[in-house]
Each structure stands twice: as structure tokens, then as C-alpha cells.
Amino acid sequence: MKKTGIYMIALLCLGSIKGLGQTYSFSGTINPTVSIQPVMAFTLTNNGSPTLNFTNTQYSTGYTISNFNSFAIKSNQPWKLSVSAATANFSASGTYSSSNMPASVIGVVKNGQTPYVQLTTTDQTLATGNRGNTSTTGNSFNMDFKANPGYNYGPGIYTLSIVYTLTAQ
């Protein structure tokens, strides 16, 4: 029995050594899916006081403020920034104020461009640009502002909300 036991141990050892020399490899395919949603955002910075006080000469020529607002846009698609007035006319207060001063008294334009866009309640394009962050050329810019009511409206306090809308082109 001793001989049989030694042969069995030897056969087991040989079988184990033979298995150690084999290599196994596996291959497979993974098909990941990435879903990227549209991303659009802008930051609006008011660079000056939104309160305007007209002087005598500004009634004739208008009140112009360069770089009135700054915009910084981030988007993963081409974009369009539109501007409109929340209401057709300014809200007015004061004894001699006029209730019919139209939003078109205000004009805005991307800094360095012409002509001014006169505000209405309909969206009008202020600027367009390409996908990218704020360091992408054209995605950061300033807006010029002009108010020109002339002598057609009485003295008072006038308020108007300006609406900016960022959409995909």
C-alpha cells in the first residue's frame, strides 16, 4: 500500500503542475451610453445704477450708458440672447407723469454694434454665439443702454422691467 500511496501523490502533483502552466483569457464588449442634456445659462451683471436722472441736454439727445450690463454665457449648443420689455408701457407715478410712455423709449445694443434695438414686448435678438463657456469668444460681452423720451412725457417716476431670454439657435 505504501507504493500505491506514493504513486497517487505523484500523479496528483503532476496533475497540479500541468494545470499551473495553462493561461486563460477572456474578452468581451461593453457599449456604454452617455446622454448629454442641453445646458444653457447666463449671468447678468448690472454695471451701474438702474436709476436714470435726466439733465436738460439729455431730453433732446437721450441718456446713453456704455457697458450698462455685462453678460457671461455658458452653453453646450449655439445660442441666441433676446431682449424684450415686460409691458408695452412704463408704469408711471407722480402728479404730472404720463401713463402712455412706451417701452420703445429704451434702446439696447451689444457694445460696439449698431443700431440700438428699441424695446417692445416681442423678443428681439441682442446677441448670438457658439457653444462653450465664458472664455469662448463672444460668450462674454457688454450691453449699451439708451433712454430717449424727449419732451413728450411729463415729469414723474417711470419703471419698466427688461426681460432677457437665452434660447438655442
Q: Quick check: helix, strand or coil at residue 72?
A: strand
pLDDT score of 58: 85
What local confidence, expressed as pLDDT, does residue 50 receive? 83
Note the Cα 155 to chain centre separation in Å.
37
Please tell me the distance from the alpha carbon of residue 64 to that of residue 157, in angstroms, as a whole number: 18
What backbone phi and psi angles, to 5 degrees, belong to 120? -140, 180
- Residue 124: half-sphere exposure toward Cβ, Cα within 13 Å: 17
Range 49-168: architecture per CATH = Sandwich (2.60)
Question: Residue ranges per domain, the chain?
Answer: 49-168
CB 71 within 8 A of CB 143: yes
User: What is the predicted pLDDT for the residue at 23?
Assistant: 76
pLDDT per residue, tens digit, the chain (169 aa), is 555 545 445 444 445 555 556 778 888 999 999 999 999 999 999 998 888 888 777 888 889 999 999 999 999 999 999 999 999 999 999 999 999 999 999 999 999 899 999 999 999 999 999 999 999 999 999 999 999 998 889 999 999 999 999 999 9
Give the integer Cα–Cα distance in Å for 145 and 153: 19
Rounded distance between C-alpha atoms, residue 117 and residue 108, angstroms: 5
